[in-house]
Structure 1
C-alpha cells in the first residue's frame, strides 16, 4: 500500500493547475499599456527630430563659433579686445589723459574769459 500511496502522491504533484501557461486579462492590459507607451514615445521623438536642423554644417547656425588659437600662449592669456593696445599705452603714460595744465597766471582758467 505504501507504493500505491506514494505513486498517487507523485501523480498529483506532477499535475499543473488549469490556468498555468494561459494569458489572462492582466496580461492583455499590460501589453496594451506597453503599446500605448511605445506609440507616445515614437510621437515625442518625431517631434524632437523635427526641431533639429537639416545639417549641422550650416554657417547660418547661431551657435557659438569654435575659435582655434594660433599659439599656445593664446590658450593661457585671454584674447585681446579691440582698442586694448591703446588703453595699455594710456595706462603706462597717465599724463597723456590729463587735461592741459595752465601756464598763464590767470588762476588756472583755460576757458576764454567773458568780457
Structure 2
C-alpha cells in the first residue's frame, strides 16, 4: 500500500497563488545584497592597506633564489661552481 502512494505522481500544482513570490523572498535578496556590499567594502579597505610589492627591500644572501625567481636559473658569475654549503651551528 505504501509503495503505491509513493509511486503516484502528485500532479502539478495549479491555482491563482501558484508561482508567485512572497515578500519574504524580496527581503532575503535585499539582505544578501547588503551583505555582499559590506563584504566588498571591507575587502577594498584591506586591499588598500597592502604594500605595492612583497619583495624584501634588503634581501639577505640566502634569499637570492626565492619564490619570485625562475626555477633552474643560475645567477651570473656562479656557473660551474658548487652550490653553497649550509652554515654549521
- TM-score, normalised via structure 2 length: 0.52
C-alpha spacing 1:42/1:14, structure 2 compared with 1 (3 Å): closer
Report the equivalent of 1:50.
Answer: 48
Report the equivalent of 1:20.
Answer: 18
CA drift of 1:58 comes to: 5.3
Q: Deviations over 1:26-57 (max 9, x none)?
A: 00000000000000000000000011001223
Moved over 3 A (4+): none
Report the equivalent of 1:35.
Answer: 33
Query: Which is bigger in relative contact order (C-alpha 8 A, separation at least 6)?
Result: 1
Q: What are the equivalent positions in structure 2 for 1:64-103 lying under 5 Å apart?
A: 68=62, 70-72=84-86, 74=87, 77-78=88-89
Structure 2 unaligned runs (5+)? 1-10, 64-83
Report the equivalent of 1:108.
Answer: none
- TM-score, normalised via structure 1 length: 0.42
The number of residue pairs the alignment matches comes to 59
CA drift of 1:18 comes to: 2.6
CA-based RMSD: 2.6
